[in-house]
Amino acid sequence: MIRLRGVAKIYRVGSYEVPALRGVDLEIADGEFLAIMGPSGSGKSTLMNLIGCLDTPSKGSYLLNGKQVSQMNDNELARIRNEEIGFVFQTFNLLPRATSLKNVELPLVYAGVSRRERETRAKAALAQVELTSRMSHRPSELSGGQRQRVAIARALVNDPALILADEPTANLDSKHGHEVMLLLRDVTRKQGRSVIVVSHDHRIREIADRVLWLEDGRFKALQALVRDPSCGMLVDPEQAPASHELDGQRLFFCSRGCRDEFLAQNTPQGYSGQEP
């Protein structure tokens, strides 16, 4: 489905070069549900933009369904986005004055599909996400979970081979976030679609077929990472900004603030804040 080889992205700021991705290799199979996690600034958004054909790599190759995307022009990229990829965004990106049905129809409008066909396919997509009874409702009349379901239906309506979801649970509470992710996995699995989800939500690990950790523009093995005992975030021990030995065990933290907070709560004498 997807094959990236040696993909790098370098941004130029004046005379400086800022590498966002550093030679990424990635393969995704048909029907696979992949989660990509990592800290802020790790390159996740840049990678999603490249996979979603919103940008092109500075170096390397990108094959999508056998098509070489790396060298496409803007018109070719736009066609691939419309025909091959469905997007689910953190903030839903729904038109506030349009009904659920009209919001789902929108990609079909851009594709030049007839009005009757648009309505038929949009209704079918809303039925897949269990929102048949909310077709005539506007976003302000829907809950956060229902709005994200509309966004998923919109991503599905063009029958794409690939769904990209960028922090899809960030604006939902834990219960509805979990429900939305299960729905996305189940619907796409039945249809054999590939899904890539970028998320900070560690519960995605329970749902995904595979989880990759991106940090400093490179993928790292999850087995080599440890969990920050304060905030629960995964940390690379070799680059952790703070650590502390407690009861014979070396603990690693994502920040000095997390270390100080943890030690203040978990040591009898509190924490003086003197450790570098």
Q: Domains in the chain, please, with CATH?
A: 28-58+72-223 (3.40.50.300), 227-266 (no CATH)
Q: What is the pLDDT of residue 239?
A: 78
pTM score, two decimals? 0.80
Q: What is the pLDDT of residue 14?
A: 84
pLDDT tens per residue across all 276 residues of the chain: 899 999 999 998 888 888 999 999 999 988 899 999 888 888 998 999 999 998 889 999 999 888 888 888 889 888 888 888 999 988 889 999 999 999 999 999 988 899 999 999 999 999 999 999 999 999 999 999 999 999 999 999 999 989 999 888 888 787 788 888 888 888 888 888 899 999 887 778 778 888 899 988 999 877 777 888 887 777 888 878 889 988 888 999 988 888 888 988 887 665 555 554
Separation in Å, CA 221 to CA 7, 132, 194, 213 = 18, 42, 22, 7
Q: Are 87 and 76 in contact (CB under 8 A)?
A: no
Q: Are 242 and 259 in contact (CB under 8 A)?
A: yes
Q: How many CA atoms lie within 13 A of 254 on its CB side?
A: 15
**How many residues in total does the chain contain?**
276
| Cα–Cα nearest to 121, from 84, 155, 158 | 158
Kindly provide the b/e burial profile for residues 182-212, where b requires at least 16 CB atoms within 10 angstroms of the residue's own CB.
ebbbebbeeeebbbbbbbebeebeebbeebb
Q: Are 132 and 104 in contact (CB under 8 A)?
A: no
